Each structure stands twice: as structure tokens, then as C-alpha cells.
Amino acid sequence: MIVIQNIYTKKIYSTLLKILLFFQSKYTLYDIDDADYCRHPPETIQYFMKKCQISTVGSHILLDYTKKFSKKVFLLTSPVNFHNFVKNKKK
């Protein structure tokens, strides 16, 4: 399995990954958990969403966005940490 994450530039690394996807698109996963398409030109992000076999996202907004480009999208949310939560002592 090839997992691709946080690629949004058009530099050498993303170009090499695109070549890899050209030859091997089976068993590939694109993971996006930030709205990088808002901060960077979306072309590279959309390319990986289209070409990877599966996409995973970290929010419902990303889920809706990614469904436009990927056939298989899965929502993987992060657990919520309750830092201010105090357990009751056992009696």
C-alpha cells in the first residue's frame, strides 16, 4: 500500500509521486486532514484525490469536497481529548 499525505506543491516530490501513480495506482491511499485546498492551489491535491484508489479525510467538510474527485472516500475523525476532565475517585 502506498499512502500519500500533505502533497500540494508542483515540485519534484509531487512529480515523482505522480509518476509512481501512473504506473501503480492500485493499493494507493490519499489522506487529507487539513483544508490545504484553501491555502494552496488545489490542482495537485485534486490530482491525487482522482488518481489514488482511496481517499481518507478528517472532517465532514473535507468529505463533501473530496467526493467531487474520488470514488471511495472514508471519514476518519480524530478522538477528542478532554484535558480538563477529572475522574471521580473510587470509593
Q: With cut-offs at 50, 70 and 90, classify the pLDDT of residue 45.
A: confident
Mean of pLDDT values over 45-56: 92
Q: Which domain holds residue 51?
A: 2-75
84 lies in a domain? no
User: What is the per-residue pLDDT for 77?
Assistant: 81
Indicate whether 28 belongs to any domain.
yes
Task: Please tell me the predicted confidence (pLDDT) of residue 86.
Answer: 67
**Residue 91 forms part of a structural domain:** no
Whether pTM > 0.85 for this model: the answer is no
Does the residue 48 lie in any domain?
yes
pLDDT at 17 over 70: yes
**CA–CA distance, 67 with 54 (Å, rounded to integer):** 11
Residue 52 above 90 pLDDT?
A: yes
| Rounded Cα gap, residues 28 and 45, in angstroms | 14
